[in-house]
């Protein structure tokens, strides 16, 4: 789902897009001037209803049989554009409100960062020059089952714009928030445009806690792509609807992972055939 730059219209399409969330969802954060910096230690709350995604009446979240549910951010970010921001989302999204004006580790959500590319049950974070087309960040929820459980998600961060550290922080935290099941909400880090709130506020944490305040009957499955044993051999699998991951055992024993994107789902299916 995309949002327009201020002044271009199309606001009437937002509610229709929300109802069409059984297909993969791309939520874009658009570029405007940031006027202030928000401290992660402050606890302002935002009025309004829950800003969780729902599929078939179920809030979107990662499945887990125990608390806290563990979500991994696959780090495919290039230095130095987004490098300084890569460890901020795991910190701020693992926080919860433990009392009036008090913060602590969330009992429901634990977010970590690891090298990306090998597991399909993590949020893959990428950056690249995607063009000066109005958006600075995009999150895609590639697979959601009938119970609202996420299976695959990704974040794209646009290098085509020159952003301040505060703007980068707001963008990466916002997009990771989408991959945890949050939609747009004014007055929070999930506001539809960069609005001077670079970190979650109490309302973000409260909604995330309410969505994850239960255990599921299964964990989101780990579907690791194993490297072939023989040097020079390559294995492949689909990675989302329109992409294929190739992993090769090199002659020196190292492993190379290559992501290839296709224009159509049919082309990706064909490319992934043995």
More confident position, 12 or 231: 231
Residue 105: pLDDT band by 50, 70, 90 thresholds? Answer: very high
Residue 252: count other Cβ atoms within 10 Å of its Cβ: 6
Share of the chain above pLDDT 90, in %: 29
**pLDDT score recorded for residue 220:** 80
- What does pLDDT average to over the chain? 76
Share of the chain above pLDDT 70, in %: 75
Tokens (6 digits) for 171: 């963008």
12-26, 28-42, 103-117, 234-248: least confidently modelled range:
12-26
**pLDDT score recorded for residue 241:** 64
More confident position, 104 or 236: 104
Residue 213 has pLDDT above 70, yes or no: yes
116-166 pLDDT, tens digit each: 655 555 788 888 899 998 899 999 887 787 788 888 788 999 999 988 889
Instruction: Kindly give the pairing relationship between strand 149-158 and strand 69-76.
Output: unpaired
| Cis peptide bond prior to 53, omega within 30° of 0 | no
214-261 pLDDT, tens digit each: 998 888 876 555 677 888 888 887 766 677 777 788 787 776 777 777
**pLDDT score recorded for residue 212:** 92
Q: What is the DSSP letter of 197?
A: -
Query: Rounded distance, CA 61 to CA 230, Å?
Result: 38
**pLDDT score recorded for residue 223:** 53
Torsion angle of alpha carbons 31, 36, 41, 43, nearest 10°? -90
Residue 100 has pLDDT above 70, yes or no: yes
55-73 pLDDT, tens digit each: 778 898 999 899 999 998 9
Residue 272 has pLDDT above 70, yes or no: yes
**pLDDT score recorded for residue 245:** 76
Residue 7: pLDDT band by 50, 70, 90 thresholds? Answer: very low
pTM of the full predicted structure? 0.70
Query: Rounded distance, CA 206 to CA 262, Å?
Result: 38
Residue 92 has pLDDT above 90, yes or no: yes
Query: Is the separation of the CB atoms in 5 and 30 below 8 Å?
Result: yes
Residue 180 has pLDDT above 90, yes or no: yes
């Amino acid at each position: 789902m995309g949002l327009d730059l201020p002044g271009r219209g199309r606001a009437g399409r937002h509610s229709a897009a929300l109802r069409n969330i059984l297909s993969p969802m791309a939520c874009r954060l658009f570029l405007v001037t940031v006027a202030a910096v928000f401290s992660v230690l402050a606890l302002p709350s935002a009025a309004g209803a829950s800003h969780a995604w729902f599929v078939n009446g179920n809030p979107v979240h990662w499945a887990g049989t125990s608390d806290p549910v563990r979500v991994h951010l696959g780090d495919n970010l290039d230095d130095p554009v987004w490098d300084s921001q890569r460890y901020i989302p795991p910190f701020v999204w693992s926080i919860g409100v433990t009392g009036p004006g008090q913060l602590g580790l969330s009992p429901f959500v634990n977010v970590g960062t690891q090298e990306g590319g090998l597991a399909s049950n993590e949020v893959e974070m990428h950056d690249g020059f995607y063009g000066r087309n109005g958006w600075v960040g995009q999150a895609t929820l590639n697979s959601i089952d009938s119970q609202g459980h996420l299976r695959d998600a990704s974040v794209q961060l646009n290098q085509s714009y020159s952003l301040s550290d505060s703007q980068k922080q707001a963008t990466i935290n916002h997009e990771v928030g989408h991959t945890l099941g949050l939609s747009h909400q004014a007055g929070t880090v999930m506001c539809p445009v960069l609005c001077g709130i670079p970190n979650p506020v109490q309302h973000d944490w409260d909604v995330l806690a309410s969505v994850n305040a239960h255990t599921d009957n299964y964990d989101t499955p780990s579907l690791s792509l194993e490297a072939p044993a023989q040097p020079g051999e390559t294995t492949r699998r689909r990675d989302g609807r329109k992409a294929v991951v190739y992993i090769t055992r090199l002659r020196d024993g190292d492993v190379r992972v290559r992501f290839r994107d296709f224009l159509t789902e049919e082309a990706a299916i064909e490319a992934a055939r043995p």
